[in-house]
Amino acid sequence: MVPHLRTALTGALSDLEHKMLEATPMIERWLRMEWQEHTPPFYSSVDLRQAGFKLAPVSTNLFPNGFEHLAEEMYPLATQAAMAAVEKYCPDARNLLIIPEAQTNSSHDLQSLAHLANILRLTGLNVRLGSFSDSVTQPTSLSLSDGQTLVLEPIERNGRRITLDNGRFDPCTILLNNSLSSGIPKVLENIKEQIVLPPLHAGWTVRRQSTHFDAYDAVVKRFAKFLDIDPWLINAQHSQLSNLDFNLPASTEELSHTVEQLLKKIAKKYKEYGIKDKPFVMIKPDAGMSRAAIKIHSANELKTLEHSWLHTMNSNKNHHIVADVLIQEGVPTIERINEEIAEPIVYMIDRYVVGGFYRINAESMDETINPHDTHFKSLPYIKQSERTKEDLNSAYNRFYSYGVVARLAMLAASLELEQTDPNPDFN
Amino acid sequence: MVPHLRTALTGALSDLEHKMLEATPMIERWLRMEWQEHTPPFYSSVDLRQAGFKLAPVSTNLFPNGFEHLAEEMYPLATQAAMAAVEKYCPDARNLLIIPEAQTNSSHDLQSLAHLANILRLTGLNVRLGSFSDSVTQPTSLSLSDGQTLVLEPIERNGRRITLDNGRFDPCTILLNNSLSSGIPKVLENIKEQIVLPPLHAGWTVRRQSTHFDAYDAVVKRFAKFLDIDPWLINAQHSQLSNLDFNLPASTEELSHTVEQLLKKIAKKYKEYGIKDKPFVMIKPDAGMSRAAIKIHSANELKTLEHSWLHTMNSNKNHHIVADVLIQEGVPTIERINEEIAEPIVYMIDRYVVGGFYRINAESMDETINPHDTHFKSLPYIKQSERTKEDLNSAYNRFYSYGVVARLAMLAASLELEQTDPNPDFN
């Protein structure tokens, strides 16, 4: 089930959209059966790229932080999905603790946090916010631009439990909205009596983009066979390289070679489908959601880059002198809102799609580091009264294929977390 | 979790509302724990009466047939809840068969059916409608006032399964939207390989109002103790009488005595709470959702009634000459919309409240048999932009207490279905 939201897509339905819409009962059943075997992450968001000829995930976030961009009408759906998740993990929960990013300076981050806390409060839980940051030594009020206030409290370790307020707030569930990119703090280690969601190994200390996309390859292989489509239509190809050190010519050579190989593979596919676009790849840090991605159209371009860019690949900020990178097929985006590039992000809680929004910019996120002028547009419901046969977005749920591909990426995250679980027997 | 919908209530919050709103995390937890032990019905609707001094269910329908009265914005919530239910009962489902009432002549019934089918289709299931009526011998198109068409197909028995279309449509789940008040048809007996929801013993052939309200008494006893309230505040007292035959003076006497006793109990409670209203009771058939309820303010009034009214008590239409009746405390309603009486009905799918509406009439449903001029008003979401401190309906979720009481009635239905299950070991 994917809510019928309005996408920026216009024009005729693609073969892929047709196929997915027609196979809806089979696809929903396929996914239901998968969730019998695998546990979805508590929440997730998936960045998609819609090229028209293909639709693929390029990034899966297990600590989504854009809840404020969802349309207001999506919140009941999000709350109901969160209720289903809470029931599964901790039916006797009264209290839930959210641990946000240590640095929640930006007004966006605070708004997202306020919305997330509100979604969870509406399930009927007492929700409080805790920090393990050294700078939070007492309850600290954070003012939001809309006049709301959030209170961040220092977390305490009580034996094998985390509490707030001298033990007076004892949560059943600890929800991380913190990607742990600076490492797992000691205070969060060896918590056994409370449920930490997502598990600590979902943080960027352990998580790797390449592990995720390897899992996605496996998911897509099965799904594409089931739907009888070319897996490439929903998958951006990728390679991974470890321990690159650009002081060594061997590393430069290795990266150059890998980029070339991947560009060749893309070119071959473009030829097969008669696509005239120029192939490109994205080089990203293998750990972290950093925006420090670099767009490359040929191995030669690598030579013109400053060596310093490698440092931007090193997202975990521990000053490694070597870098692990993901080299990912670039997927052009055809979606436009007011002539600006619109890149969709799909939000899920438990196994339910609960909404989405576009990140809009004059240039693609893939073009620049830290783009300015980025803005966001929520995907709204299409109301019965708005539906016409002429409007393909209202006659068909064009958001359906986005919901399918995003859920395949979520399923990949489930497999990834199973594979990387340091204590699989405890589950 | 109860969505924040706009009720017709105005004025200060009652103590009961205050208490429930404050105890939300405890109440939600209490309910979650109950659903660990008991399975909610696939769907249900509960008629409530809001007296201000008390809020109580007066009828619980396990075959809800007013889906067309829900606000459009509730359908995604209903679909997501239905998806959770389908996953529980039959994750490998592709096909779902709805069996509607044999006589779906009214435009309301057809609209409700169309909405129900649509909610279920949006979960990604193939949904078709089947009839066991002798008059449906081939696929029959039913035209709706809005131009839609529903197709009703004859159901076939294939061994231990029900199918359509010469076995080509083989559902995993059979959803009854038929209260079986004319008995359980042979074609539905002994289905073992498919899931029938709700189970056959939820039909009025087996079900009794009194069994439901006995179960509700038990639920309320525990809940009221937990919340530390007088159970009467959320419960209409009731008595039950079997095998009444009004040709016998003993039956008249028995009914008269029971009515008198119940009126005395109500009067005592009214005195305790300083309520000036005149106590009344409703006499209803113990089987069926018939509107043939009679309002009685004193045992004397019984004498003035024609004996023929007893026949209206006999809802299962099998021409029994004796009747089983429920005598229920009358709960006056203070809710008004445009000066007309507004009686709320809360809709639930699985354990989720998915919306509600008011049945509106110049007179209460409890006043007349077959009231004319009845109309319906959906309860809409209260949007963020509409919220003000002055509007108590937007500052607080006044629908919350409705959602709590309705879910207690749903829980009672779960207990009732457990108790009346003819084959408890099969589950």
Q: What confidence tens digit (pLDDT) does each residue in B51-76 have?
A: 999 999 999 999 999 999 999 999 99
Under an 8 A CB cutoff, do B24 and A76 touch? Answer: no
Instruction: Identify the band that residue B252 occupies on the pLDDT scale cut at 50, 70 and 90.
Output: confident
- Average pLDDT for B125-145: 93
Nearest CA in chain B to A94: B25
ipTM: 0.90
Tokens of B402: 């409705």
Distance of alpha carbon B6 from alpha carbon B398, whole angstroms = 7
Measure the N-to-C terminal CA separation of chain A; round to a whole number of Å.
Answer: 28
Nearest residue to B158 (alpha-carbon basis) of B197, B194, B182, B200: B194
Interface test with A, best of B29, B97, B173 (most A CBs within 10 A): B29
Query: Would you state the pLDDT for residue B113?
Result: 95
* Chain-chain contact of A126 with B25 (C-beta, under 8 angstroms): yes
Q: Which two tokens stand for residue A96?
A: 């839930």
Distance CA A384, CA A381 (A): 9
Whole-number pLDDT of residue B208: 95
d(CA A26, nearest CA chain B) in Å = 6
Is residue B147 within 8 angstroms of chain A, CB to CB?
no
Check if the beta carbon of residue A398 is closer than 8 Å to that of residue A12: no
Pairing of β B126-131 and β B95-100: parallel
- List chain A residues with CB under 8 Å of B148: none
Among B80, B115, B401, the strongest candidate for a mutation testing the A interface, having the largest count of A CBs within 10 A, is B80
Interchain CB contact of B70 with A (< 8 Å) = no
Distance between CA atoms of residues B156 and B177, nearest Å: 18
pLDDT digits (tens, 9 = 90+) for B6-21: 999 988 999 999 999 9
Q: How far is CA A277 from the centre of its chain?
A: 26
Residue of A nearest to B94 (CA): A25
Query: Do A91 and B33 make contact, defined as CB atoms within 8 angstroms?
Result: yes
Residue among A20, A29, A382 with most chain B CBs within 10 A, to mutate: A29
* CB atoms A28 and B92 under 8 Å: no
**Residue-level pLDDT, tens digit, chain A, 427 residues:** 899 999 999 889 999 999 999 999 999 999 999 999 999 999 999 999 999 999 999 999 999 999 999 999 999 999 999 999 998 888 888 999 999 987 766 778 899 999 999 999 999 999 999 999 999 999 999 999 888 899 999 999 999 999 999 999 999 999 999 999 888 999 999 998 899 999 999 999 899 999 999 999 999 999 999 999 999 999 999 999 998 887 788 888 999 999 999 999 999 999 999 999 999 999 998 988 766 788 999 988 887 776 556 656 654 445 545 688 999 999 999 999 999 999 999 999 999 999 999 999 887 666 654 556 889 999 999 988 888 888 999 899 999 999 999 999 999 999 999 999 998 765 4
Picking from B151, B159, B198, B150, the residue whose alpha carbon sits closest to that of residue B43 is B198
- Among B70, B140, B142, residue whose Cα is nearest residue B106: B142
A320, A322, A349, A274: which is closest to A89 by C-alpha?
A349
Gap between the Cα atoms of B344 and B376, Å rounded: 10
Classify burial at B308, counting beta carbons within 10 Å of its beta carbon; exposed 0-12, middle 13-18, buried 19 or more. exposed
Determine whether the interchain pair A80/B26 forms a contact, defined as Cβ–Cβ distance below 8 Å.
no
Contact A124 B1 (CB under 8 A): yes
Mapped onto helix, strand or coil, the DSSP state of residue B197 is strand
User: CA-to-CA distance for A100 and A93, rounded, in angstroms?
Assistant: 20
Interface membership of A111 toward B (CB under 8 Å): no
Report yes or no: B71 at the A interface, CB cutoff 8 Å: no
The model's pTM is 0.93
